[in-house]
Structure 1
Amino acid sequence: MRKSSRLFETIQIFRSAKGPLRAEDLAARLEVSVRTVYRDISTLQSMQTPIEGEPGVGYVMRRGYNLPPLNFAEEEVEALRVGLSMISRSGDRALRRAADWIAEKVDALHAPASWLQVSPWGAPEDDPQLGCVPKAMLRAAVREERVLRIDYVDAEGARTTRDIRPIGIVYHINAVLLAAWCELRAGLRHFRTDRIYACEPTGAFFTGQGEVLRSIWSEQNRWNLREDGSSMDDDAG
């Protein structure tokens, strides 16, 4: 998470807090070190954010400090709530955590709407303890145009190691696909993320190629993706 985003999230956490927050609690929530929390709080205080307290005791933010409100119509808020709830079906733990933070911001400005419910069942969760590669790592590789080396098991159980250039993520109801240029097959392929059992950066990048590859991928896959998360041109299962 970028520092600017982390500072924004820190303010939101303080706004919704019921009492003093320890640096350790903030560090666990933001997934950073306690030292980073101390530095961030110092930065916010230097920006005149009314945060008071000290290490070892806890911090509070004085009431009355607000960021600009979100101005949405009633149906827009409901659409936002449903969309955020559906992220839980993506199996993407990092996106779900981000969605929870956004939902807290919405709840802080609008009355809760418990009557809007979305089924939580969907794609398998990317639990590292089950051997699944975090989808956040794959999304980061797409953004950074970073070459990955993956161990992939196809529908028939065949295992291969491939260097790929990831260019997109496709969220289906029951599966999530990683679209990528596969150097082994010398072509664009789709890989089910729940069949990627190991993944590491190679150290190489494909800077500037992402948009071109996505354009080709878009032309080749005009809804050539089935609802079950498979693909007509997916030789990897």
Structure 2
Amino acid sequence: MKKSNRLFETIQIFRAARGPLRAEDLAARLEVSVRTVYRDIAALQAMRTPILGEPGIGYVLRRGYDLPPLNFDEEEVEALRVGLGMLSRSGDRSLRRAAARISAKIDALQVPADWLQVSPWGAPEDDPALGCVSISMLRAAVRDERVLRIDYEDGEGQRTTRTIRPIGIVYHINAVLVAAWCELRAGLRHFRTDRIHACTPTGATFPGQGDVFRAVWAEQNRWEGGGEGAS
């Protein structure tokens, strides 16, 4: 996470907090070191952000430093809540954490709606402890147009090593697919993320080619076929 984004996110965490936050708590939320949190707090204080700290207690954001009201009507807010809740079914842990942060910001400015629930069952979670490749890593590779080398297992249990140029992510109800140009097959293919057993950046990139590949992908509309994956 870039420092500017991290500083903004730190302020949002303070806004949603109901009490003092320790540096250790912030470090865990932001996935950085405690030393980085201390530096960030100092940077925000230098920018006159009213963060107050007390040894042994933690940090608080002084009242009055608030976001302006969100200009959404009731149904628009409910649509946001349902949409954010649906991300729990995507299997994408990083997006789910982002959704939780956004929901906390909405709750800080709106009346909570505990009666509005979304079933969490959906695609398998991309938990590294279970040997799953992070969907966040795949999304970053699409954005940065980075070539990846993956170990992939197809529906029949056959494993192959592929070099791919990822161009899109498709979230189905029970699976997540990465659309990519596969060098082995010399064509566009879809790979289920829960069948990618290893993923390593090659160091190569394909700048400017992503848009061209996506145009062909959209024309072929291959993802509508259910997308079991590669061949």
TM-score per shorter chain, which class?
A: over 0.9
Question: Which residue of structure 2 lines up, in the alignment, with residue 64 of structure 1?
Answer: 64
- Alignment deviations for residues 131-174 of structure 1 (CA, whole Å, 9 cap, x no partner): 11010000000000000000000001100001100000000000
Query: Deviation at 1:221?
Result: 1.0
User: Which runs of 5 or more residues in structure 2 are unaligned?
Assistant: none
Question: Which residue of structure 2 lines up, in the alignment, with residue 181 of structure 1?
Answer: 181
2:79 and 2:141 map into 1 onto residues whose CA distance is: 29
Question: Which residue of structure 2 lines up, in the alignment, with residue 98 of structure 1?
Answer: 98
Question: Which residue of structure 1 lines up, in the alignment, with residue 15 of structure 2?
Answer: 15
Check the 8 A contact 1:165/1:181 in 2, yes or no.
yes
Q: Could you say what secondary structure the match of 1:122 adopts?
A: coil
Greater alpha carbon shift after TM alignment, 203-212 vs 48-57: 48-57
User: Which runs of 5 or more residues in structure 1 are unaligned?
Assistant: none
**Percent identity between the two aligned chains:** 78
State the one-letter code of the partner of 1:173.
I
Q: How does 1:33-72 map to 2 (within 5 A)?
A: 33-53=33-53, 57-72=57-72
Q: Could you say what secondary structure the match of 1:152 adopts?
A: strand
Structure 1 residues 4 and 165: alpha-carbon distance in aligned structure 2, compared to 1, 3 A threshold: same
2:124 and 2:170 map into 1 onto residues whose CA distance is: 14
Check the 8 A contact 2:191/2:230 in 1, yes or no.
no
State the one-letter code of the partner of 2:165.
R
Query: Deviation at 1:54?
Result: 5.5
Structure 1 residues 4 and 84: alpha-carbon distance in aligned structure 2, compared to 1, 3 A threshold: same
Question: Which residue of structure 2 lines up, in the alignment, with residue 25 of structure 1?
Answer: 25
Question: Which residue of structure 2 lines up, in the alignment, with residue 115 of structure 1?
Answer: 115
Check the 8 A contact 2:165/2:206 in 1, yes or no.
yes
Question: Which residue of structure 1 lines up, in the alignment, with residue 208 of structure 2?
Answer: 208
Structure 1 residues 151 and 67: alpha-carbon distance in aligned structure 2, compared to 1, 3 A threshold: same
State the one-letter code of the partner of 2:96.
R
1:165 and 1:69 map into 2 onto residues whose CA distance is: 42
1:158 matched to 2:158? The reply is yes
Query: Deviation at 1:71?
Result: 1.3
1:148 and 1:123 map into 2 onto residues whose CA distance is: 22
Check the 8 A contact 2:92/2:125 in 1, yes or no.
yes
State the one-letter code of the partner of 1:40.
D
Query: Deviation at 1:5?
Result: 2.0
1:73 and 1:57 map into 2 onto residues whose CA distance is: 38
State the one-letter code of the partner of 2:86.
M
Check the 8 A contact 1:23/1:55 in 2, yes or no.
no
Aligned length: 231
